[in-house]
Structure 1
């Protein structure tokens, strides 16, 4: 134990304002060593200075109050280091997102004269194994990872052979209303009944305008969607069915390892409505 000092002196020693110290006291994060019963004035022990410095540094790095509490109460240095490492990983992810956003903004301010190539293609009738969910657009990343694992694991365990690239099918409401139907599917030539939650579906033949978005992440894919949609509106007749995506560059039938995404926008003549997937579910199985 050290000696007790009034809140004003402790504020100078820790570079935490009186307001911040009172707030951390209310949260139970940094409790005064003594409170005068008559005046209500707070006194702190000089042994609390290091804790105050830890709090200030990690709050400046956007660590949450619950995480700082866990850090300060960690039973050993290993547990403390694990919490710090987890927060550093979050900071690194945030930094990468910020860098991506800065790069995209620079590109928007200095648009390139070159645009991705768009071509039209007739997609054949496709037998596939699929998982369909109604999701919020904010959760699409976690949904994609979980569903891709379920689907590829079901194929592996069944022995069914994949045919063609791993793909997705996305209802327009998912983008326009922030909630809608999303499907991941893998083509297969073997009509083996799949295990739940996988369903056998038949995707009808359809015609699409196709653009390839390059990259192992979907950073900037909104610009690819914008260019493709503009091209279709200016040069073709847009259908109203769901958007297909094909994930290329990975092993056949696998979602992991893809390095580019084919975006397929349905065009007039053979585009299917969102209800076609429901009807397709009855095609096999």
Structure 2
């Protein structure tokens, strides 16, 4: 044991305010060595200074009270290391999220530019294998990965080789408007093959699109590409209310969800007659 000191002296030694010390006493992570029953004054022991410094440092680093309690209540070095390592990993994730947010905010300082390269395209009718579902937007990423894997495996089984096809997606306006709607992933149908159970064979009809190629997959900045394409389609063309179509380019069999580009296809009415 060291020397008994007043809460005022202890606050100076630890850089913890009276309010913080009372709070840590109430929640049980830094109790005074003695509390005067008559006056209610709190007294601390100088041996508690290091303990208080640990609490203040970890609180300044964003560690939760339960984690600090667990850290201080164990003498197991491995357990302490695990608590600190887990918190460090959480801080690294938060740091990356902050960096991403800063980048997105900087990007928002510039207006949505009208794209220089919008292509008007007539997609011919296409025989596909597809899987569709009515889903919540919050679940679309996990659904996408599982469904794409199912379609690629189906094609690989039918052709006897790893799938190298370019997959696509169809997304009803309700997904954007109501955060719930129909989503469909598709791949070009292998010739002379029957789709397995759970996979549908259908023909996508011919359609007209304004197409903008977004670099990468569904990253945070794809909303800017959607905004730019939508502005162009509505200011220069006649927008159709059909589903949005996407094509996913550049993936490999070893990493089927890492796309180098995403073609966003905005449906339009065309006044140009089809070629003979």
Q: What is the distance in 2 between the residues matched to 1:154 and 1:113?
A: 36
Match of 2:14 in 1: 14
Q: What is the distance in 1 between the residues matched to 2:227 and 2:256?
A: 24
Structure 1 residues without counterparts, runs of 5 or longer: 270-285
Query: Normalised by the size of structure 2, how large is the TM-score?
Result: 0.74
Match of 1:159 in 2: 157
Match of 1:218 in 2: 219
Identify the range of structure 1 (56-65 vs 150-159) with the bigger mean alpha-carbon deviation: 150-159
Secondary structure of 1:31 counterpart: coil
Match of 2:37 in 1: 37
Q: What is the distance in 2 between the residues matched to 1:59 and 1:184?
A: 47
Q: CA deviation at 1:250?
A: 1.1
Relative to 1, partners in 2 of residues 1:219 and 1:156: Cα closer, same or farther, differing over 3 Å?
same
Relative to 1, partners in 2 of residues 1:254 and 1:246: Cα closer, same or farther, differing over 3 Å?
farther
Structure 2 residues without counterparts, runs of 5 or longer: 271-276
Relative to 1, partners in 2 of residues 1:232 and 1:9: Cα closer, same or farther, differing over 3 Å?
same
Relative to 1, partners in 2 of residues 1:182 and 1:39: Cα closer, same or farther, differing over 3 Å?
farther
Q: CA deviation at 1:89?
A: 3.0
Match of 1:49 in 2: 49
User: What is the aligned residue count?
Assistant: 261
The question of whether the paired residues in 1 share the 8 Å contact of 2:239 and 2:267 is answered with: yes
Pick from 175, 192, 196 the counterpart of residue 193 of structure 1: 196
The question of whether the paired residues in 2 share the 8 Å contact of 1:166 and 1:252 is answered with: no
Relative to 1, partners in 2 of residues 1:66 and 1:9: Cα closer, same or farther, differing over 3 Å?
same
Instruction: Find out whether 1:117 has 2:117 as its counterpart.
Output: yes
Q: CA deviation at 1:226?
A: 0.9
Q: What is the distance in 1 between the residues matched to 2:32 and 2:73?
A: 16
Match of 1:102 in 2: 102
Secondary structure of 2:30 counterpart: coil
- String of CA shifts for 1:153-179, please: whole Å, max 9, x gaps: 6754883554633444444344334x2
Q: What is the distance in 1 between the residues matched to 2:186 and 2:89?
A: 33
Identify the range of structure 1 (148-157 vs 4-13) with the bigger mean alpha-carbon deviation: 148-157
The question of whether the paired residues in 2 share the 8 Å contact of 1:166 and 1:184 is answered with: no
Identify the range of structure 1 (168-177 vs 221-230) with the bigger mean alpha-carbon deviation: 168-177
Q: What is the distance in 1 between the residues matched to 2:266 and 2:204?
A: 15
Match of 2:145 in 1: 148
Instruction: Find out whether 1:231 has 2:228 as its counterpart.
Output: no
- String of CA shifts for 1:105-144, please: whole Å, max 9, x gaps: 4444456978352113344435234363522x4x35xx51
Query: Normalised by the size of structure 1, how large is the TM-score?
Result: 0.72
Match of 2:89 in 1: 89
The question of whether the paired residues in 1 share the 8 Å contact of 2:117 and 2:212 is answered with: yes
Structure having the higher Rg:
2
Superposed CA RMSD: 3.5
Match of 1:280 in 2: none
